[in-house]
Structure 1
């Protein structure tokens, strides 16, 4: 007897299988406990699908410069605060409760070697579904992701001593322990090119910045991780302590560097392109950060980040002024203006 397979019969069989699957799921018989683990075939399929997805998306969407090794201090600080509890770190074991997840977080000292930098960038920025790997907390700070990629790339060969040197030894007697790992006990940023000097900054500005990071108005996954854990009175106290440190005031004042073109932008602006003077806002007594004596590499990088913020085209509508202003600074003047503000000598 021959059974003819028709489209109608195939559709009916698929419908029956679908209903049976829904009834099985509804019954609750399937064990979804993390302690039960995955079947080997399930584990293989999920990892195969994940690797295929990462490979494809990273090839088309990750930047060509996915790693930035100039900011390992801030990346290490964020890793210690947000990542090491799951993944562990050199000389630091992961939390057992996190390792009881299905699947457990991988040891990046081994796992990082399985991915190239573009793939690591995609994983860090977007996270992975059906795992405990979250996306980067803000999606408009690829500079932070690049620094984390460079840090993770170095984990396979990183010693516990090197890791602790990057994270910084916490001072148990200091109330600023959450901040000094990156910003230093003296508020000078530990020499890291991407970490701003906070010592000597206006306390009201520092407090407003912390409040902005905690609320999400200011964008930084690194700073949000710290600020969202702080109580209002703690923010105010930390702002006062950093403001009282010798930081900006201890560095050469703006004007020590003789660059006439940079000085003109800082003091007078460029009226022809509607670029206001930097000093008209960024000076003591103004509700904006003081830039005289700030680290040149930090100023230059922030200006470049703002120039790339294509979401802001009109400051009057968006209330975001700096992206518009940064685009009016001639590209070849960014480093020169930054060095002038820092008090560094011009490059020859």
Structure 2
């Protein structure tokens, strides 16, 4: 009897195994095709299955943990930057200090965790948090980061998540919640226009027919439709438009440059998990109006009068001949036509400038053609050391804002 149940030769197992596999496949096909499987979100996962799924998620996150965090991960400037994104997007599912979670969110299965307590955040290392934020979690509502090549933004959100459990309700509201009273200017949505396509890294994901990659997009807050985008912009860029350290000073730029930049974010030609989310909700009329609004504000320097490093001045005005680098000033602000193509740097936030140079160096920023970067700044940044980047950023931050009228009206003769 045992010999029949357990044949001595391996070849004798082949037939029974094939029959068992075909039987299991047939049963699985009948179950799927019949529709008997209940995928309703109204019923939670069975306790054992839920534990199994979460264990699998924990192990996967630990195995695929991200790179080592930056040395200044817990700096206030990173925490504040991450708070702006969390308040606009994440808090709608994960809540915040002094606030509960939305009943709609708690009707999901699996439910998003409440992150304003020690347990969820403390159970993950910084590298694991990076992985979750960047890659998202399949079979849940947790999305991946919307912009590729922007690890710097992901670390900013990780910095905020680490600080969140110890944050008071008042501190959370000040950092992460947009106050309608921050800005009064109304920017009407305008007439409905023909949608324009935008590009994401997964915009060819099947089935393409059931997705709509087009802008204007319907967003989380509805600030574009309610004609209140300035209050949303002010959360990061400040009421006066000068930025908050991690975010750029908008008052130093021209309206043309700001409008082109917003359009580039909206179309996915410039990548940013922060800005693509905002820009895709704006109508063309709002993009133009916002650009003119910030260009019309008083031009303020973020660090005017601060000591300007001699090294930074040399790089800006003389370049780095040993590395084959021309002066920064040869493109940034040399003529009126150059101002239309390149951003003005005088008076910009130093941390933002230095961070953007590092983003160029890592390939996270640049003009995107297809899936390739086509931008001279990528090669330039790779030839600069961290010390040189910090020096030139400090130099430009210490300068008074430039005016377009101060530049020549035509290109210099070559």
Aligned to 2:165: 156
Q: Distance in 2 between matches of 1:291 and 1:118?
A: 33
**How many pairs align?**
335
Aligned to 1:42: 49
Q: Distance in 2 between matches of 1:77 and 1:105?
A: 20
Quickly say closer, same or farther: Cα 1:140–1:45, change in 2 above 3 A.
same
Q: For the Cα contact (< 8 Å) 2:361–2:379, is it kept in 1?
A: yes
Aligned to 2:242: 188
Moved more, 2-11 or 138-147: 2-11
Deviation at 1:174, TM superposition (A): 3.3
Deviation at 1:187, TM superposition (A): 0.6
Q: Distance in 2 between matches of 1:65 and 1:265?
A: 25
1:173 equivalent in alignment to 2:184: yes
Deviation at 1:289, TM superposition (A): 1.1
1:245 equivalent in alignment to 2:303: no
Deviation at 1:130, TM superposition (A): 0.9
Deviation at 1:80, TM superposition (A): 1.5
Deviation at 1:328, TM superposition (A): 2.8
Aligned to 1:281: 331
Which of the numbers 56, 61, 68 marks the counterpart of 1:63?
68
Q: For the Cα contact (< 8 Å) 1:78–1:222, is it kept in 2?
A: yes
Q: Distance in 2 between matches of 1:62 and 1:173?
A: 42
Deviation at 1:49, TM superposition (A): 0.7
TM-score normalised by the chain length of structure 1? 0.88
Q: For the Cα contact (< 8 Å) 2:249–2:348, is it kept in 1?
A: yes
Aligned to 2:266: 214
Q: Distance in 2 between matches of 1:258 and 1:13?
A: 77
SS at 2:315's partner residue?
helix
Quickly say closer, same or farther: Cα 1:235–1:124, change in 2 above 3 A.
same
Q: Which runs of 5+ in 1 are unaligned?
A: none
Q: Which aligned pairs between 1:1-348 and structure 2 lie closer than 5 A?
A: 1-2=1-2, 3-5=4-6, 6-58=13-65, 61-65=66-70, 67-69=73-75, 70-110=77-117, 111-167=120-176, 168-171=178-181, 173-175=184-186, 176-189=230-243, 192-248=244-300, 252=304, 257=307, 259-283=309-333, 285=336, 286-287=339-340, 288-309=342-363, 318-343=373-398
TM-score normalised by the chain length of structure 2? 0.75
Q: For the Cα contact (< 8 Å) 2:237–2:248, is it kept in 1?
A: yes
Deviation at 1:79, TM superposition (A): 1.0
Q: Which runs of 5+ in 2 are unaligned?
A: 7-12, 187-229, 400-414
Deviation at 1:311, TM superposition (A): 9.8
Q: For the Cα contact (< 8 Å) 1:125–1:136, is it kept in 2?
A: yes
Quickly say closer, same or farther: Cα 1:235–1:336, change in 2 above 3 A.
same
Deviation at 1:141, TM superposition (A): 0.8
Q: For the Cα contact (< 8 Å) 1:82–1:225, is it kept in 2?
A: no
Deviation at 1:183, TM superposition (A): 0.3
Structure having the larger proportion of residues in helix: 1
Deviation at 1:282, TM superposition (A): 1.5
Q: For the Cα contact (< 8 Å) 2:270–2:365, is it kept in 1?
A: no
SS at 1:35's partner residue?
coil
Deviation at 1:75, TM superposition (A): 1.3
Once the two structures are superposed, what CA deviation does each residue of 1:128-148 show, in whole Å capped at 9, x if it has no partner? 111110111112111111110
Moved more, 220-229 or 94-103: 94-103
